[in-house]
Amino acid sequence: MKICCLGAGYVGGPTMAMIAHKCPDITVTVADINEKRIAAWNSAELPVFEPGLDDIVQANRGRNLFFTSDMVPAIRDADIIFVSVGTPTKTYGTGSGKAADLKYIELCARMIAEHAEGPKLVVEKSTIPVRTAESLKRVLGANSRPGVTFDVLSNPEFLAEGTAIDDLNCPDRVLIGGESPAAIEKLVDVYANWIPRDRIITTNLWSSELSKLVANAFLAQRISSINSISALCEKTGANVDEVANAIGRDSRIGPKFLKASVGFGGSCFQKDLMNLVYLCEHFGLPDVARYWEQVTDMNDWQKRRFSSKIVTTLFNTVNGKRIAMFGFAFKKDTNDTRESAAIYVGRDLLEEQATLAIYDPKVSADQIFYDLQQPQTDADGKPNDKALICSDPYEAAKGAHGLAILTEWDSFKELDYQRIYDDMMKPAFLFDGRNILDHTELRKIGFEVFAIGQ
């Protein structure tokens, strides 16, 4: 059997690497129009940082795992074609700011129709609005050569970045939605190479498509719920981590996704929630739309609340003050910064005329400048002196008036905070946006600590 995947991103790359790893008899080709990205997948420096990914790619690349920008043969030869391209929020026209932009999905469908020579199983791996399969089938059907047939399945991906390899290796469930039992069975057989059959759920197409959006909405909702309570804890003397632990022990609530933070980030929660809101509006359910919109409103408020707290605590001005930011990725163990809370906090502080000194163990300086919409050099070619990218945390904290933790990297817990304190301006303020540090110890050293929900 031959599998091809269109889109070699955070999902396509790791997912296909795992299929190749677990199914040595299947040839897996990951194809992407971005030649630079494909070159990186074929190099020692993969474009995606994900614990455990390097080993799997190295073990299988060139054997039954291939990365290519030559789309046509990849499509022509495949029995199963996964579509794993981006589905960002539309930034123009109808539905701007809410609806999913399906242009990359449609382009894939047109390319598949043009080059397919035999029967193909087309699998939606990207996260898409419910009923996208309908459009996909129409585009495929209207543009295919005579005699070529297509089955379309929905097989959304539930991996989280930073734990993608574990999630793919041992998922809570695999979800496959479709109309043709034979097509469903064909894909079930692929996953059954390593996943117990009772964890492979099969449904109709629309349930599968919708379940993906709903899963992300429920996860994001939990974070916004606990973040809303973090503000109440700060007013009342309750401790949000203690509250989360107390409620999470109720097996009906459960302990996961109750960590209060500076706000959720990542490429998907915001976009998938807005997509759900748009769908509800589209189907004439404005009250349902408003309900889910509140989840992102609360998240925006939490991010703004954090940057305002820094400004107000530093005597209502950060103008000309150095603020060290530890972490820029949207969560630990990834180099991905999409929708990271650090971007919004950083932009707010720059707006307030602060100087940022940023350290992240995995995010590149280029990416940080891009996200902050900052030039790397001024008109005279001198380095930007408003956003300094530091190669170690001690350098970032040196001379800082305030230190903010934006990402929960484990390495931040191991730092020498006495040394950091000694090198900072006094009073030395520390804002733990992830509640990962030992605040009692920090206060003993002399820091003035602000923690979320405490």
Q: 64 vs 155, which CB is nearer to ligand UGA?
A: 155
Residue 8, binding choice from ligand NAD, ligand UGA, none, Cβ under 5 to 8 Å by partner class: ligand NAD
Give the DSSP letter string of 10-62. Answer: TTHHHHHHHHHHH-TTSEEEEE-S-HHHHHHHTSSS-SS--TTHHHHHHHHBT
Q: 259 vs 398, which CB is nearer to ligand UGA?
A: 259
Choice among 23, 108, 233, 268 that is catalytic: 268
The CB-of-305 to ligand NAD minimum distance in angstroms stands at 26
The CB-of-124 to ligand NAD minimum distance in angstroms stands at 9
The CB-of-239 to ligand UGA minimum distance in angstroms stands at 16
The CB-of-105 to ligand UGA minimum distance in angstroms stands at 15
Residue 18, binding choice from ligand NAD, ligand UGA, none, Cβ under 5 to 8 Å by partner class: none
212 is known as an active-site residue: yes
Residue 330, binding choice from ligand NAD, ligand UGA, none, Cβ under 5 to 8 Å by partner class: ligand UGA
Is 130 within 8 Å of 144 (Cβ atoms)?
no
Measured CA to CA, the distance from residue 75 to residue 91 in angstroms comes to 30
Residue 86, binding choice from ligand UGA, ligand NAD, none, Cβ under 5 to 8 Å by partner class: ligand NAD
Element (H, E) at 81: strand 80-83
- Tokens for 418, please give them: 């006495």
Residue 331, binding choice from ligand UGA, ligand NAD, none, Cβ under 5 to 8 Å by partner class: ligand UGA
Radius of gyration (C-alpha) of the chain in whole angstroms: 24
Binding residues for ligand NAD restricted to 81-110, rule: CB under 6 A: 84-87, 104, 107-108
> How many CA atoms within 13 Å lie on the side-chain side of 18?
24
Measured CA to CA, the distance from residue 164 to residue 351 in angstroms comes to 35
Residue 89, binding choice from ligand UGA, ligand NAD, none, Cβ under 5 to 8 Å by partner class: none
- For 94-125, b where at least 16 C-beta lie within 10 A, e where not — what string? ebeebbbbbebbeebbebbbebbeeebbbbbb
Choice among 212, 259, 271, 331 that is catalytic: 212
Measured CA to CA, the distance from residue 205 to residue 212 in angstroms comes to 12
Binding residues for ligand NAD restricted to 1-40, rule: CB under 6 A: 6-12, 31-34, 37
Count residues contacting ligand NAD (CB under 6 A)? 26
Give the DSSP letter string of 423-448. Answer: HS-SS-EEEETT--S-HHHHHHHT-E
235 is known as an active-site residue: no
- As a whole number of Å, the end-to-end CA separation of the chain is 56
Strand partners, 3: 28, 80
Binding residues for ligand NAD restricted to 128-147, rule: CB under 6 A: none
Binding residues for ligand NAD restricted to 260-319, rule: CB under 6 A: 267-268
390 is known as an active-site residue: no
The CB-of-401 to ligand NAD minimum distance in angstroms stands at 35
Q: 156 vs 178, which CB is nearer to ligand UGA?
A: 156
Using CB atoms within 10 A of its CB, is residue 368 exposed (0-12), middle (13-18) or buried (19+)? Answer: buried
Among 101, 157, 234, 348, binds ligand NAD (CB under 6 A): 157
Q: 159 vs 424, which CB is nearer to ligand NAD?
A: 159
Is 359 within 8 Å of 390 (Cβ atoms)?
yes
Measured CA to CA, the distance from residue 173 to residue 167 in angstroms comes to 10
- Tokens for 174, please give them: 């695999």
Choice among 50, 157, 293, 352 that is catalytic: 157
Is 230 within 8 Å of 453 (Cβ atoms)?
yes
Q: 223 vs 397, which CB is nearer to ligand NAD?
A: 223
Interacting residues with ligand UGA (CB under 6 A): 127, 157-161, 216, 219, 223, 257-259, 261, 264-269, 330-331
Residues that bind ligand NAD (CB under 6 A): 6-12, 31-34, 37, 84-87, 104, 107-108, 126-127, 157, 159, 161, 267-268
* Active site residues per annotation: 157, 212, 268
